[in-house]
């Protein structure tokens, strides 16, 4: 199904996630620091271009940047609620926002020792629990999601990589959470009871031998493969077969000359991997075989407009559509002069070749001078 917001008009769509009627929107965590943080809601025009509707204060302060792959906000449909949860790395809280009314529902703290001021707080969620990775304390806190887009703190867990790295990326499928540590190592946890329990499968990735360090992670919808995006001087992704419920040694693929591939995203039909080349201002697509887990071919965009002039780094990719190849790609752009933006890129494929072309309307200005934009989310997206 396709969801659209016509120019100037916000429509309530007929799709139902649980019992919640869905709105179609893009939302950004502006990660402002040391000033008051906010999230910005965008509607999506008929041609797919996002346009700013309103900003909502989170009630806290952000971290002002940090890990590229870290998702600083999630959108969670829960019964009649449609919730946005955004992290405030500076004040160490998670802000709850009702996506329908665009109002703050509260600021929720974990333990006093859970701190995210150095590189922010990453988030992942299912419809029952939200997990927050705190970069400064190297902990994962578990919150239970409650009615009215509120959270109740449950517990936290100290975790670190084989080289004492902190969690830089998280992905969830069923009872399994897969994490990256940014130090060359990866691991997984069982979350069947809520709080994560280590599966004791922590290991170095294959790419680590070439100084390619997994940062971002996504999981196929059947739970068979985990796909990692690496921080590296060439565009590199790695794939692990997790069908056993444990991580297995990764297979590494060099897919482009783009610098860093720390943010990786599967298309809804899982035919394509989209990579944000965080340090070279480009976007890469590679073809993915969801049956075998192999990666092949693909294409890389030119440097997006304004790179190293108006903005310096890119964050995690959002997709226009929840079906097919995902439609347009939205790329958060961390501002060089304090003003961030969102790049808009058209992906076109014949099945064996592809192109990535920035649209005429790109970039879209974030209109928040103090934004340190690296995280966006689009709703609806692939189902929970």
**In sequence order, what DSSP letters do the residues of 284-296 get, joined into one string?**
EEEEE-TTT--EE
Res 370: pLDDT: 80
Q: Is residue 384 part of a domain?
A: no
Give the per-residue SS3 of 166-186.
CCCEEEEECCEEEEECCCCEE
Residue 318 confidence (pLDDT) above 90: yes
Res 92: pLDDT: 97
Query: CA-to-CA distance for 308 and 180, rounded, in angstroms?
Result: 28
Query: CA-to-CA distance for 124 and 316, rounded, in angstroms?
Result: 13
Average pLDDT over residues 201-207: 98
Per residue in 104-127, pLDDT (tens digit) is: 999 999 999 999 999 999 999 999
Q: In the numeric block, which tokens belong to residue 317?
A: 């990719």
* pLDDT confidence tier of residue 13, bands split at 50, 70 and 90: very low
Q: In the numeric block, which tokens belong to residue 243?
A: 């069908």
Please report, rounded to a whole number, the percentage of residues in the chain having pLDDT higher than 70: 94
Query: CA-to-CA distance for 99 and 104, rounded, in angstroms?
Result: 9
Q: Is residue 6 part of a domain?
A: no
Q: What is the DSSP letter of 301?
A: P
Q: Is residue 7 part of a domain?
A: no
Query: CA-to-CA distance for 111 and 182, rounded, in angstroms?
Result: 24
Q: Which of 79-83, 223-227, 241-245, 270-274 has the lowest mean pLDDT?
A: 79-83
Residue 19 confidence (pLDDT) above 70: no
Query: CA-to-CA distance for 85 and 110, rounded, in angstroms?
Result: 14
Q: Is residue 129 part of a domain?
A: yes
Mean pLDDT of the chain: 92
- Domains identified in the chain, total number: 1
Q: In the numeric block, which tokens belong to residue 132?
A: 């927050």
Q: Is residue 96 part of a domain?
A: yes
Q: Which of 94-103, 148-157, 363-372 has the lowest mean pLDDT?
A: 363-372
Res 6: pLDDT: 31
* pLDDT confidence tier of residue 384, bands split at 50, 70 and 90: low
* pLDDT confidence tier of residue 33, bands split at 50, 70 and 90: very high
Tell me the torsion sign for CA atoms 383, 221, 356, 67. Answer: positive
Residue 329 confidence (pLDDT) above 90: yes
Tell me the torsion sign for CA atoms 3, 5, 6, 9. Answer: positive
Question: Phi and psi dihedrals of 191, rounded to 5?
Answer: -120, 25
Calculated CA dihedral for residues 149, 152, 154, 158, nearest 10 degrees = 70
What's the number of CA atoms in the CB half-sphere (13 Å) around residue 221?
Answer: 13
Query: CA-to-CA distance for 223 and 157, rounded, in angstroms?
Result: 24
Beta-bridge partner residues of 53: none
Q: Do residues 287 and 271 touch, judged by C-beta distance below 8 A?
A: yes
Q: Which residue has the tokens 């990660």?
A: 31
Question: For residue 64, what are the domain limits?
Answer: 12-379
Query: CA-to-CA distance for 93 and 115, rounded, in angstroms?
Result: 9
Res 368: pLDDT: 81
Q: In the numeric block, which tokens belong to residue 362?
A: 């790109």
3-state secondary structure of 209: helix
Tell me the torsion sign for CA atoms 15, 351, 172, 192. Answer: positive
Query: CA-to-CA distance for 274 and 261, rounded, in angstroms?
Result: 9
Per residue in 247-258, pLDDT (tens digit) is: 999 999 999 999
Q: Is residue 5 part of a domain?
A: no
Res 12: pLDDT: 30
Q: Is residue 152 part of a domain?
A: yes
Average pLDDT over residues 148-176: 98
Least Cα distance to 326 among 260, 376, 382 occurs for 382
Contacts of 306 (CB under 8 A, 6+ apart): 333, 341, 363
Q: What is the CATH number of the domain that holds 336?
A: 2.130.10.10
Residue 7 confidence (pLDDT) above 60: no
Q: Do residues 265 and 218 touch, judged by C-beta distance below 8 A?
A: yes
Q: In the numeric block, which tokens belong to residue 270?
A: 């899982």
Pairing of strands 213-219, 176-180: unpaired
Per residue in 340-357, pLDDT (tens digit) is: 999 999 999 988 899 999
Query: CA-to-CA distance for 64 and 34, rounded, in angstroms?
Result: 7
Q: Is residue 201 part of a domain?
A: yes
Query: CA-to-CA distance for 320 and 25, rounded, in angstroms?
Result: 9
Per residue in 260-317, pLDDT (tens digit) is: 999 999 999 999 999 999 999 999 999 999 999 999 999 999 999 999 899 999 999 9
Query: CA-to-CA distance for 365 and 310, rounded, in angstroms?
Result: 10
Query: CA-to-CA distance for 43 and 239, rounded, in angstroms?
Result: 34
């Amino acid at each position: 199904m396709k969801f659209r917001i016509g120019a100037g008009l916000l429509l309530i769509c007929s799709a139902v996630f649980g019992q919640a009627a869905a709105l179609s929107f893009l939302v950004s965590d502006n990660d402002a620091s040391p000033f008051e943080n906010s999230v910005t809601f965008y509607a999506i025009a008929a041609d797919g271009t996002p346009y700013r509707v309103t900003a909502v204060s989170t009630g806290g302060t952000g971290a002002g940047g940090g890990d590229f792959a870290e998702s600083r906000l999630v959108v969670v449909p829960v019964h009649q609620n449609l919730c946005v949860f955004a992290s405030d790395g500076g004040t160490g809280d998670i802000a709850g926002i009702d996506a329908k009314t665009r109002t703050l529902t509260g600021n929720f703290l974990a333990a006093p020792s859970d701190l995210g001021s150095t590189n922010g707080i990453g988030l992942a969620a299912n419809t029952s629990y939200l997990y927050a990775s705190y970069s400064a304390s190297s902990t994962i806190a578990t919150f239970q999601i409650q009615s009215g887009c509120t959270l109740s703190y449950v517990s936290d867990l100290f975790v670190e990589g084989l080289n004492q790295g902190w969690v830089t990326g998280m992905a969830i499928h069923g009872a399994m959470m897969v994490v990256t540590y940014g130090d060359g190592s990866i691991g997984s946890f069982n979350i069947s009871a809520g709080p994560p329990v280590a599966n004791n499968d922590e290991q170095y990735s294959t790419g680590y031998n070439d100084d390619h360090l997994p940062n971002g992670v996504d999981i196929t919808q059947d739970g068979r493969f985990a796909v990692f995006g690496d921080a590296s001087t060439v565009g590199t992704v790695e794939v692990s077969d997790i069908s056993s419920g444990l991580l297995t040694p990764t297979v590494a693929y060099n897919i482009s000359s783009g610098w860093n591939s720390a943010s990786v995203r599967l298309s809804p039909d899982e035919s394509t991997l989209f990579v944000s080349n965080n340090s070279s201002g480009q976007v890469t697509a590679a073809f993915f075989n969801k049956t075998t887990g192999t990666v092949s071919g693909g294409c890389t965009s030119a440097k997006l407009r304004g790179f190293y002039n108006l903005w310096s780094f890119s964050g995690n990719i959002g997709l226009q559509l929840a079906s097919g190849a995902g439609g347009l790609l939205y790329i958060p752009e961390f501002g060089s002069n304090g003003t961030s933006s969102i790049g808009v890129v058209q992906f076109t494929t014949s099945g064996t070749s592809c192109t990535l072309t920035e649209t005429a309307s790109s970039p879209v200005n974030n209109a928040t001078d103090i934004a340190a934009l690296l995280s966006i989310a689009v709703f609806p997206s692939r189902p929970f």
